[in-house]
Structure 1
Amino acid sequence: MSRRAGSADLPLHGGRVPAWLGQRMTKLGTVITQAIILHYGRDEFLRRLAHPFWFQSFGAVMGMDWHSSGITTSVLGALKRGLTPLSAELGLHVCGGRGRHSRATPDELLAVGNRTGLDGSALARTSRMIAKVDSAAVQDGFDLYLHGFIVADDGRWVVVQQGMNDGTRLARRYHWLSEDLKSFVEAPHAAIDGRNQGRIVNLTDRRAAASRIGQLDLLRDLGPDGIVREAAALTPAPPAPATAQPELPHLVMPDRHEVRPGDVILRRLHGALAAAAEAGPRDFAELLMVPGVGARTVRSLAMVAELVHGAPCRFDDPARFSLAHGGKDRQPFPVPVLVYDRTIQVMKSAVEAASLGNDEKLDAIRRLDAQARRLEQTADGPSLDAFIDGERRRSHDYGGRSVFGHEPPPAERTSRTGRAGG
């Protein structure tokens, strides 16, 4: 697996996730995790968390601000709340978090070791080492404030941690994966998310091996005389040919709230809309045996299905996944709470049935994803602006809500007392 999967610019935003959204993020994040593990296993779920584009899409589909650094905190928090009660069943343990929770990670890993038989002390040392590497060996101007460590019962793990630069108001996310990790100090990252800041000190680069060895030599020769001798011995030399580095995808998350056409690959959106229409809300609801599932919910389910089944190349436009359940800041539209709840209900029903040996419901969701990919080659649909405008006009009918409150009914429908189905 590639060590570094890509990069992204994550603007810093203030504020907190409201309780009504945080509770739903916990439920949806948990059931998506269960679906991935049922289909593909724990190792694949850890690989997904280590992929920066998938991670951003995961947060966006849960109604968090699609482009902000807050996705990191909210996703890890939702997973910790949701997966901790299921840790014995799933064999996954979410440790750490932001601030004081970050500093408690080693103690939490020791406790995991006591429960599972893993070497908790070794996991705690790994946690400290990873934090030290990203704060000292990679000197890029970002100070760590968040550290999440997810470990499986077999000892495999993923680390997601984040730093911020107060001067630029940007955040950088670092992804680590235990799979194929050979060194903590030589190209260890699965990914580093953040805008290029120019030349930085990165002692984890393979090309810095000579520098790391030279620093140890200087320490052994500790003293002004030794350092002077080393400096005097340096003579200009032609640069060594650089080791070929793979071209990395670079995700730039803009410092603006609105979703624009350039943020979304429209044919993928049209494929999801066409698949939802072709599946037929009535037939789909009957198959899943979940009442109240309408066309709007099936559209959201198509995006959730892609999050479960999609290949890495499918997540280079994470803004598209915010079109499933909107965003807490009313961008691209208010969170459609009624739709969100039905999405959770459908996924939970499918996962519960699959855990009892009946895969029919989960397979229906997988087929919805396959259908969307097939139809996106030929499907047509509304422009992004028209799609978002339609969502906003019907927001009240869908139980629209944001940090600014509940969405009021449009002026022409103020006398209505009922709500349309989602």
Structure 2
Amino acid sequence: MTRRAGSADLPLHGGRVPRWLAERMTRLGTVIAEAIVLEYGRDEFLRRLAHPFWFQSFGAVMGMDWHSSGITTSVLGALKRGLAPRAGELGLHVCGGRGRHSRQTPHELIGLGEQLGVDGAALARTSRLIAKVDSAAVQDGFDLYLHGFILADDGHWVVVQQGMSDARGQARRYHWLSEGLQSFVEAPHAAIDGLDQGIIVNLTDRRAAASRQGQLDLLGSLGPDGIERRLAEIDPPAAPCPAPLQPMLPHLVMPDHHDVRAEDIVARRLHGNLAAAADAAPDDFADLLLVPGVGARTIRALALVAEVVHGAPCRFSDPARFSIAHGGKDRHPFPVPIKVYDRTIDTLKRAVAQAKLGHAEELAAIRRLDDQARRLERHATGPSVEALLAEERGRSHAYGGRSVYGDEPAPAAIADPAS
């Protein structure tokens, strides 16, 4: 059976990721990847990347704009920078990227093939085919501009690529997974589904098999000129009989609004995260809490990071919730709390390092934090989303809050609009 992946519709956003955030995204994204590989293996990390909801939540927990198209570029860039020095240990390689970097993907794959002893030429052909399917075989109005190919040492892979439509102000992300893939031209990915924007051409649909074969037959018997003459003679065909729809598969549609609203978050899950952080047993977190600077706010961030590492696919239907960990670069839902962010990275890096040495207590404590959140969410209560965000903004300066607009000033230093 073909292993499905998914797709996502996202509002287009301009701008660049500031260096101070890009460096931290690289560090946090890498250590999260290490934790997942350590706990569940490389194939599971590839499956996570192929899930559009998890991918968006992964970017949100790293402080990127929670709903925008920029998450795709920034996450792939962070992983490419962070995993390269650890490729020998983790067996993961990130190729491609945006614009001219995407066009280098086949050359990178051929080089990796020689290095790893896998068929690099076949991987390069795979890369080109996938790009062609989502740009030519599926004509949905989005022009591809980003192509990322994540390859494991054993030849398994995941592809994340993205197209844009300036007219619609949207981007569409496509996820592919090698696991169980049987065909590149017949239903190879999740289903291209989103907001109703008119008729699209999808020659990868199973129902289009006769059309694909017919096109090949026509090309062989008539040639391009003959096809053009024949088309001129044909009246518009009658509307085809409706065919049964294919089963729906993961497709994420993010809203246009930039601010995080209560309706963007599943409140019971958020209250479960908060309650787990507040009720973390001292015995479980004794070692973590001895790390200088790690306190209640860092444990709250770790509760959301723990879910990104350990959560089931159904847990990521509200990516906005994960922005509560480390905010966002544009101050939505609040400025990035640099002090909290750095302590989260240091705490998780320490737990992963200890686990590699055979001392898994700290990493196990983080896993229990996720387990506890799921148990507590059934009955936990807490502040409203609006109240929580207002509290975070009020404390932003104390947490080292920073955004693309600069450092957050102390509350007393904010000018009175009436003065």
- TM bracket, shorter-chain basis: over 0.9
* Corresponding residue for residue 8 of structure 1: 8
* Corresponding residue for residue 310 of structure 1: 311
Gaps of 5+ in 1: 415-422
Secondary structure at the aligned position of 1:173 is classed as strand
Q: CA deviation at 1:247?
A: 3.2
Q: CA deviation at 1:252?
A: 2.4
CA contact (8 A) 1:3 1:191 kept: no
* Corresponding residue for residue 376 of structure 1: 377
Secondary structure at the aligned position of 1:221 is classed as helix
Judged with a 3 Å threshold, the aligned counterparts in structure 2 of structure 1 residues 61 and 281 are, in CA distance, closer, same or farther, namely: farther
Deviations 1:69-104 (A, max 9, x none): 000000000000000000010011100000111111
Task: Report the Cα distance in structure 1 between the residues aligned to 2:254 and 2:126, rounded to whole angstroms.
Answer: 30
Deviations 1:212-238 (A, max 9, x none): 011011101225656767976998697
TM-score after normalising by structure 1 = 0.93
Task: Report the Cα distance in structure 2 between the residues aligned to 1:184 and 1:377, rounded to whole angstroms.
Answer: 43
* Corresponding residue for residue 272 of structure 1: 273
CA contact (8 A) 2:142 2:164 kept: yes
Task: Report the Cα distance in structure 2 between the residues aligned to 1:238 and 1:197, rounded to whole angstroms.
Answer: 20
Task: Report the Cα distance in structure 2 between the residues aligned to 1:45 and 1:407, rounded to whole angstroms.
Answer: 35
Task: Report the Cα distance in structure 2 between the residues aligned to 1:306 and 1:48, rounded to whole angstroms.
Answer: 12
Task: Report the Cα distance in structure 2 between the residues aligned to 1:296 and 1:360, rounded to whole angstroms.
Answer: 21
Task: Report the Cα distance in structure 2 between the residues aligned to 1:260 and 1:226, rounded to whole angstroms.
Answer: 54
Judged with a 3 Å threshold, the aligned counterparts in structure 2 of structure 1 residues 7 and 92 are, in CA distance, closer, same or farther, namely: closer
Deviations 1:55-74 (A, max 9, x none): 00000000000000000000
Task: Report the Cα distance in structure 1 between the residues aligned to 2:100 and 2:138, rounded to whole angstroms.
Answer: 23
Task: Report the Cα distance in structure 2 between the residues aligned to 1:280 and 1:3, rounded to whole angstroms.
Answer: 40
Task: Report the Cα distance in structure 1 between the residues aligned to 2:183 and 2:84, rounded to whole angstroms.
Answer: 29
Matches within 5 A, 1:107-146: 107-146=107-146
Judged with a 3 Å threshold, the aligned counterparts in structure 2 of structure 1 residues 273 and 285 are, in CA distance, closer, same or farther, namely: same
Secondary structure at the aligned position of 2:147 is classed as strand
Secondary structure at the aligned position of 2:76 is classed as helix
CA contact (8 A) 2:51 2:250 kept: no
Letter in 2 for 1:399: G
CA contact (8 A) 2:6 2:52 kept: yes
Q: CA deviation at 1:411?
A: 1.3
Matches within 5 A, 1:2-401: 3-190=3-190, 192=192, 194-223=194-223, 239=241, 242-279=243-280, 284-287=285-288, 289-401=290-402
CA contact (8 A) 2:271 2:380 kept: yes
CA contact (8 A) 1:92 1:150 kept: yes
Gaps of 5+ in 2: none
Task: Report the Cα distance in structure 2 between the residues aligned to 1:171 and 1:18, rounded to whole angstroms.
Answer: 21
Letter in 1 for 2:405: F
Judged with a 3 Å threshold, the aligned counterparts in structure 2 of structure 1 residues 379 and 179 are, in CA distance, closer, same or farther, namely: same
Letter in 2 for 1:295: A
Task: Report the Cα distance in structure 2 between the residues aligned to 1:103 and 1:176, rounded to whole angstroms.
Answer: 18
CA contact (8 A) 2:95 2:149 kept: yes
Secondary structure at the aligned position of 2:279 is classed as helix
Judged with a 3 Å threshold, the aligned counterparts in structure 2 of structure 1 residues 2 and 181 are, in CA distance, closer, same or farther, namely: closer
Judged with a 3 Å threshold, the aligned counterparts in structure 2 of structure 1 residues 227 and 406 are, in CA distance, closer, same or farther, namely: closer
Q: CA deviation at 1:135?
A: 0.9
Q: Which moved more, 1:107-116 or 1:338-347?
A: 107-116
CA contact (8 A) 2:3 2:178 kept: no
Judged with a 3 Å threshold, the aligned counterparts in structure 2 of structure 1 residues 191 and 207 are, in CA distance, closer, same or farther, namely: closer
Judged with a 3 Å threshold, the aligned counterparts in structure 2 of structure 1 residues 382 and 287 are, in CA distance, closer, same or farther, namely: same
Q: CA deviation at 1:290?
A: 2.1
CA contact (8 A) 1:172 1:194 kept: no
Deviations 1:343-367 (A, max 9, x none): 0011000111111111111110000
Q: CA RMSD in A?
A: 2.3
Q: CA deviation at 1:412?
A: 8.0
CA contact (8 A) 2:4 2:177 kept: no
Deviations 1:105-155 (A, max 9, x none): 111111111211111111111111111111110111111100000000100
Letter in 2 for 1:382: P
CA contact (8 A) 2:6 2:50 kept: no
Task: Report the Cα distance in structure 1 between the residues aligned to 2:13 and 2:371, rounded to whole angstroms.
Answer: 36
Letter in 1 for 2:293: G
Number of corresponding residues: 413
Q: CA deviation at 1:3?
A: 4.8
Letter in 2 for 1:218: L
